[in-house]
Structure 1
Amino acid sequence: MPSNSQPEISTTVLPNGIEIYCFQKNEEIFLIYEQVQEYFRHGIKINKGDIVFDVGANIGIFSLYTWKENEGDVNIYAFEPIAKTFELLEGNIKRLTSEKVKAIPCGLSNYARTEKFGFYPNTSSISTVYPDGSKEEKDKFKKAALQKINEVHGSKNIFHPLYKYTVIPHFMLSFILNRKIQKAFVVEQVTCQIKTLSEIIHDYKVPHINLLKIDVEKSELDVLLGIKPQDWTKIKQIVLEVHDLENRVETIKTLLASHGFDKVVVEQEPYLKGTDICNMYALRAEINKK
Structure 2
Amino acid sequence: MNHNDNDVNCALTSCLRGHAAVEDAVVASGGSDSGALVAYIVPDAHRAGEIRRACALEADGRLEGLSLHEPSADLLVAQRNRTETDFLYREIFLDNAYLRHGIELPEQACIIDVGANIGMFSTFAAKTCPTARIVAVEPIAELSRAVRANAEIHRADITVLNCAMGSEAGRTEFTFYPNNTVMSGRFADAEDRDVLRAYLLTGEGAQEGRLLDDLVADRMAMERRSVEVMTLRQVVQLQRIEEIDLLKIDVEKAEMDVLSGMDEATWAKVAQIVIEVHDIGGRLAEVLKMLGDRGFDVANDCDARMVKTGCYTVYGRRAQKRRAGARTGAAAPAERWPTRRKLADDLRAAITSQLPGHPVPERFIFVSALPTEASLRERAALSRAGHAPRPQEGSRNEIESRLADIWRDLFGASAVRPDMDFFELGGNSLTAVRLLSRIEDSFGADVLAPDDIFTASRLDDMAAAIDAALAARQAGGSAA
TM-score tier after normalising by the smaller chain length:
0.7 to 0.9
Q: Secondary structure at the match of 2:116?
A: coil
Cα pair distance change 1:83/1:265, threshold 3 Å:
same
Aligned partners of 2:286 and 2:73: how far apart in 1? Answer: 36
| Structure index of larger Rg | 2
% identity of equivalent residues: 28
Amino acid at match of 2:304: P
Amino acid at match of 2:131: D
Deviation sequence 1:13-43 (CA, Å, 0-9, x none): 1337231111132x21121223322111111
Aligned partners of 1:246 and 1:260: how far apart in 2? Answer: 24
Q: Which moved more, 1:232-241 or 1:40-49?
A: 40-49
Aligned partners of 1:45 and 1:112: how far apart in 2? Answer: 31
Answer yes or no: is the 8 Å Cα contact 1:133–1:185 preserved in 2. no
Tell me by how many angstroms 1:275 deviates.
Answer: 2.0
Task: Kindly indicate whether residue 76 of structure 2 is the aligned counterpart of residue 19 of structure 1.
Answer: yes
Answer yes or no: is the 8 Å Cα contact 2:91–2:97 preserved in 1. yes
Aligned to 1:226: 261
Answer yes or no: is the 8 Å Cα contact 1:8–1:24 preserved in 2. no
Cα pair distance change 1:285/1:16, threshold 3 Å:
farther
Tell me by how many angstroms 1:46 deviates.
Answer: 0.9
The structure with the greater share of residues assigned to helix is 2
Aligned partners of 1:179 and 1:8: how far apart in 2? Answer: 24
Aligned to 1:161: none
Deviation sequence 1:153-175 (CA, Å, 0-9, x none): xxxxxxxxxxxxx7xxx56x955
In the alignment of these two chains, the number of paired residues is 258
Q: Secondary structure at the match of 1:271?
A: helix
Task: Kindly indicate whether residue 133 of structure 2 is the aligned counterpart of residue 75 of structure 1.
Answer: yes
**Match of residue 271, structure 2, among 236, 256, 281:** 236
Cα pair distance change 1:84/1:247, threshold 3 Å:
same
Aligned to 1:265: 299
Unaligned runs of 5+ in 1: 1-6, 151-165
Aligned to 2:118: 59
Aligned to 1:146: 201
1:89-104 correspondence to structure 2 within 5 Å: 89-98=147-156, 100-104=157-161
Amino acid at match of 2:169: A
Answer yes or no: is the 8 Å Cα contact 1:43–1:288 preserved in 2. no
Amino acid at match of 2:140: I
Task: Kindly indicate whether residue 64 of structure 2 is the aligned counterpart of residue 29 of structure 1.
Answer: no
TM-score of the superposed pair, with normalisation by structure 2: 0.51
Aligned to 1:182: 217
Cα pair distance change 1:177/1:213, threshold 3 Å:
same
Answer yes or no: is the 8 Å Cα contact 2:276–2:314 preserved in 1. yes
Unaligned runs of 5+ in 2: 1-63, 325-480
**Match of residue 121, structure 1, among 178, 194, 203:** 178
Answer yes or no: is the 8 Å Cα contact 1:123–1:185 preserved in 2. yes
Q: Which moved more, 1:35-44 or 1:88-97?
A: 88-97
Amino acid at match of 1:281: Y
Q: Secondary structure at the match of 1:14?
A: strand
Aligned to 1:280: 314
Answer yes or no: is the 8 Å Cα contact 2:271–2:319 preserved in 1. no
Q: Secondary structure at the match of 1:38?
A: coil
